Every structure is written in C-alpha cells, then in structure tokens.
C-alpha cells in the first residue's frame, strides 16, 4: 500500500533505458527504475526507486508509444519507444510479456490524460482555480481549431 496521501503508481519497476549519446563503442543500455504515475500524469525514470527522477515526461503530451525492433535498437528484443515532444525514450523490458504490459499501461494512461477530464486534472494540478480549469478542454479545442484554420491556404487567423 502507498503512504497516506499518495496513490499507488499505475506501473513501476526496472527497465533498461538506452543512452542517446554516441560513445565510440555504440549506444549503451542502463538499468533504471521507471514509474508510471496515474495521479501526477507522468512517466518518470530514475537510477532507483527512491532517487529523484532524471527524466519525467507528462503523459498528456506523449505522441507515440510503440514496440520497436531491429537495427533501430541495436537488435535488442522487448524494446518500446515513447515520444514526447523532442524527447524519444527507448526502454527495454526483460520479456515480451513485460514489454506488452508496459506498452499497454502507458497507452491507457496517455488516453486518460489526453481526455477532457485529464486536461481538467492537469489544469487544476497546475494551480489554476477550478472554475478556470473546468473551461480548459473547451479553450484548448478552440485554440487548436484556430491554429488549424490558420494553416489552411487562404485562411486568416482570427482572435
């Protein structure tokens, strides 16, 4: 059970994270503790369960979660990719079953955090008053529509 005032993570455990820098001997994999936090809406990666995460990505901004294989990941098995803005994470599980469990759990949480209710929770957790936060999904949709209209040939952006 989680300590009072904290919720249990949707998933947590040890995975291997690929370092993105290119040393002379190729890309390396490091064992890292990964926490998928449903309450905070983050995927956090640290050196162990108690260390401050070195990487944390907001689930509402994740654009892709998929299994990858072949030369893209040094011919390693059980690898999946998580993209969030300019960040691309390659994580490796110890089995195919564990890999599928992580991919499924992350996708489920991403869908939840990208929903209207997830956007409201994000706005409220940012410190916005509840009255403003309840309008956040509608305002985001309005802004998205305005931006798409501005991209259409011959259209103008109206504010």
- Residue 124, pLDDT score: 67
Count Cβ atoms below 10 Å from residue 149 Cβ, excluding itself.
Answer: 12
* Overall pTM > 0.85: no
Q: Out of 15-24, 46-55, 117-126, 142-151, which region has the weakest mean confidence (pLDDT)?
A: 142-151
- Using 50, 70 and 90 to split pLDDT, how confident is the model at 69? confident
How far apart, in whole angstroms, are the C-alpha atoms of residue 60 and residue 84?
9
Taking residues 61-72, what's their average pLDDT?
88
Token output for 157: 């952006």
- Using 50, 70 and 90 to split pLDDT, how confident is the model at 52? very high
- Give the 3-state secondary structure of residue 38: coil
- Give the 3-state secondary structure of residue 138: helix
Mean pLDDT for all residues in the chain: 78
Taking residues 82-88, what's their average pLDDT?
93
- Residue 136, pLDDT score: 53
**Greater model confidence, 72 or 8:** 72
Is the per-residue pLDDT at 41 higher than 60?
Answer: yes
């Amino acid at each position: 059970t989680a300590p009072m005032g904290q919720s249990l993570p949707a998933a947590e455990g040890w995975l291997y994270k690929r370092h993105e820098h290119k040393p002379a001997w190729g890309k390396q994999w490091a064992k890292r503790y990964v926490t998928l936090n449903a309450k905070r809406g983050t995927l956090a990666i640290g050196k162990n369960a108690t260390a401050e995460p070195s990487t944390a990505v907001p689930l509402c901004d994740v654009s892709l979660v998929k299994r990858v294989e072949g030369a893209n990941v040094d011919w390693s098995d059980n690898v999946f990719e998580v993209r969030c803005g300019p960040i691309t994470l390659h994580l490796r599980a110890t089995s195919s079953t564990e890999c599928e469990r992580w991919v499924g759990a992350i996708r489920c949480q991403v869908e939840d955090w990208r929903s209207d209710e997830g956007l409201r929770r994000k706005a409220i957790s940012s410190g916005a008053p509840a009255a403003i936060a309840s309008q956040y999904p509608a305002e985001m949709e309005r802004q998205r529509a305005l931006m798409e209209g501005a991209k259409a040939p011959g259209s103008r952006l109206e504010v």
